Amino acid sequence: MKKTICICMIVAALSLTGCADHAANNRNEETLPAQLPEQESEDSSQEEQAVPVSQMDYDSFRNRMTAEEWESFEQYFPVLKENVPFELADFGYYTMLDRDGKVTEEEEEAVFYRYDPREVTDLCRYVTAYAENDIEEMMIREIRIFDLDGDGIQELILEWTPVGDYLILHCENEKFYGWEIMYRGFEILQTSGIYLSSGGAACNHWQHIRFDQGSWLEEKLAAEDWGEYFIGGEPVEEAAYLQQTAAYQTGDVTGYKPKLRSVSDDDPIRLR
């Protein structure tokens, strides 16, 4: 009799254990759908964040870019992956030229701005250039592949954070050249190759830049300066200015957000 009671108790215990396990599984199944959207949101947020150049997933661009963009992107891999140096021109140092291409010291006469290379650097040094300002490493927020001046060579346009600079790279004769510009000097790049340089609500310049024998030559096409309007350096009425600048706005150049990849200890351009 005692043996029968013990067997019954064991069977009952096993049944209760099975029910408990089943209930726990049901609870997990019930909570799983509620967790998935949260996880997807985190993953989506991670994909949108800025990425260090040393941890950028280059292959992730292949399916998003056109074949022509990807081929042009690859030509800049020596700079991005192998830390090959490039000549850098700084937006803060330029020579002003009038509409005839002659040097001028008068801002109101300036139609062209020539930026000459000031140093040879590489990405390892470039991304840590602001370390003294408590910025450990600049990170890439977005990239564009676009032929800025119609010479058949597509430039690589890198948008950085947190300082908000753009670094534009040009490749010619197996050499690399860069031009650095602050974000307000290179806004809403259009498929016409024209962009907006803004000094405030009442001070806007529509500009275009081209690579010229080792230097960068920026042209001020049209300007609004506190109620005065200019096209090609000549004063015009507001209506003419608005009509001209409307023609510049042909649509934004496509940008691509970077994605993170895993970084191995022997990465050739490990910047951290």
pLDDT value of position 28: 40
pLDDT value of position 51: 92
Whether residue 172 contacts residue 179, with contact meaning beta carbons closer than 8 Å, is answered with no
- Within-domain flag for 32: no
Q: How far apart are CA 117 and CA 175, in angstroms?
A: 13
Q: How far apart are CA 159 and CA 147, in angstroms?
A: 16
**What are the E-state strand segments in the chain?**
86-90, 95-97, 112-115, 119-121, 139-146, 155-161, 165-172, 175-182, 194-200, 203-212, 215-225, 228-231, 234-236
- Within-domain flag for 7: no
Full DSSP string of 158-203: EEEESS-EEEEEEEETTEEEEEEEEGGGSBS-BTTSEEEEEEETTE
Tokens 């927020």 identify what position? Answer: 141
pLDDT value of position 88: 97
pLDDT value of position 226: 87
pLDDT value of position 267: 53
pLDDT value of position 202: 79
- Within-domain flag for 62: yes
pLDDT value of position 203: 87
- Within-domain flag for 240: yes
pLDDT value of position 231: 93
- Within-domain flag for 211: yes
pLDDT value of position 115: 97
Q: Into how many domains does the chain fold?
A: 1
pLDDT value of position 201: 73
Domain that holds residue 186: 53-248
pLDDT value of position 264: 58
- Within-domain flag for 266: no
pLDDT value of position 48: 59
Query: Tens digit of pLDDT for each residue in 160-176?
Result: 988 778 999 999 999 99
- Within-domain flag for 257: no
pLDDT value of position 127: 87
- Within-domain flag for 258: no
Whether residue 224 contacts residue 241, with contact meaning beta carbons closer than 8 Å, is answered with yes
> For residue 251, which amino acid is it?
G
Residues of the chain with pLDDT under 70: 1-48, 131-133, 135, 263-272
Spatial CA neighbour of 193 closest among 253, 133, 239, 260: 253
